[in-house]
Structure 1
């Protein structure tokens, strides 16, 4: 397993990608009984509105969910520029 596969490395990469799109990745500080380990959500910087990871409960997106969302966002933007 290389360093780029560690969760901390993945999170740094995702935060850079999110920043380019005017987004911030939020991470739950507390562990909850319903969701177990703290989850994640994505917020727009301009409006401070949570746009992903808040349904059905706040901070329910996993690291993989966030990565998939940002990949789709990048793919859609790249497809529009061609």
Structure 2
């Protein structure tokens, strides 16, 4: 995997997109076996602080792929 496609680079790109959309990507500080298997992220509305993604069955349940899909879902063309 190249550095441009690493999870860190992907996360930086997603955070830029999230900022433009008025949401915040939150990452878990202390992982659990459950979040290590799948998850570790939540998306929160920056103004209302409401959790929009990643709190379905347990906190920080969204994967990075799910966050990417969520931010891309509206088709607004915010991809870099």
**TM-score, structure 2 normalization:** 0.85
Q: Tell me the C-alpha RMSD between the 2 structures.
A: 1.5
Q: Higher relative contact order at CA 8 Å, sep ≥6: structure 1 or structure 2?
A: 2
Tell me, yes or no, if structure 1 residue 60 matches structure 2 residue 68: no
Q: CA deviation at 1:58?
A: 0.6
Higher-Rg structure is: 1
Task: Write out per-residue CA displacement over residues 11-31 of structure 1, whole angstroms, 9 at most, x where no aligned residue.
Answer: 000000000010000000011
**What SS is found at the alignment partner of 2:36?**
coil
Where does the alignment leave 5 or more consecutive residues of structure 1 unmatched? none
Q: CA deviation at 1:34?
A: 2.5
Task: Provide the residue aligned with 1:39 in structure 2.
Answer: 40
The number of aligned residues is 76
